[in-house]
Amino acid sequence: MTNRTALVTGASRGIGRACALALAEAGARVAVAARNVEQLESLAGEIRSRGREAFVAPMDLTSADSIKEAIAKVAKDFGPIAILVNNAGITKDGLAMRMKKPDWDDVIATNLTGAFVAIQQVLPAMMRERWGRIINISSLVGEMGNAGQANYAASKAGLIGLTKSIAQEMGSRNITVNAVAPGYVETDMTQGLSEELKQKIVANIPLKRIGRPDDVAAAARFLASEEAGYITGHVLSVNGGLYM
């Protein structure tokens, strides 16, 4: 993927940050997108300190206009996007019976609709080049569900359906579309879990540890590579064996 331009959403921390660093290490020119510009600038600085190219692209995944403007700016100033990692995601947990509609709407808008709009924006350039890699970061709960996360699970299951549909539409253009479904990973999103709950989770994981952002980034890096050129419509689970 040397000198190809990659865009990673939700890149300011956690899995997105790890994906951006891994793609840069593999030779891609990486555009990093999120709402927190300060964190993006820090990440871009780290990428550049390693002798790689980085571009900061402020983006609000709940706004189609923001996504379109950011992607247009990346393409104009940094090069057409050949690799897209849709990683941005939020949670607003609560039991379905009491879930407020704005909490449903916000999670679906960011995690699913935002990913779809980003895909729409990068496809024309990928089709022209007849080469593209789209990697959607789904979740274990998109495959097995989770009490108290109806909105999040629905958004992540939706990403899997989106992945398989776009894979079928774009296969003839040499554009692959795959999903990565992480299990429990040490990120800001899981730091709120109590030590007792973490131990219970680990007890059910065959590999006996919670995942690291780098574990997920390695999967994304592989799916973005030339070596993964005959893999499309696939969901790669990175969950330590918790769900098989």
**Residues annotated as catalytic (active site), given as ranges:** 152
DSSP string covering 86-137:
E-------B-GGG--HHHHHHHHIIIIIHHHHHHHHHHHHHHHHT-EEEEEE
Considering only CA atoms, which of 61, 57, 46 is closest in space to residue 79? 57
Structure tokens at 190: 């899981």
Backbone Cα Rg of the chain: 17
Give 64: exposed, middle or buried? Use CB within 10 Å, 0-12, 13-18, 19+: middle
Quote the CA–CA distance of 144 and 86 in Å, as a whole number. 20
Give 174: exposed, middle or buried? Use CB within 10 Å, 0-12, 13-18, 19+: middle
**How, if at all, do strands 81-86 and 54-58 pair?**
unpaired
Q: CA-CA distances (angstroms) from residue 13 to 2, 42, 106, 188? A: 24, 10, 20, 8
Q: Are 56 and 4 in contact (CB under 8 A)?
A: no
CA 153 from centroid of its chain's CA atoms? 15
Helices 213-223 and 14-25 cross at an angle (nearest 10°) of 50
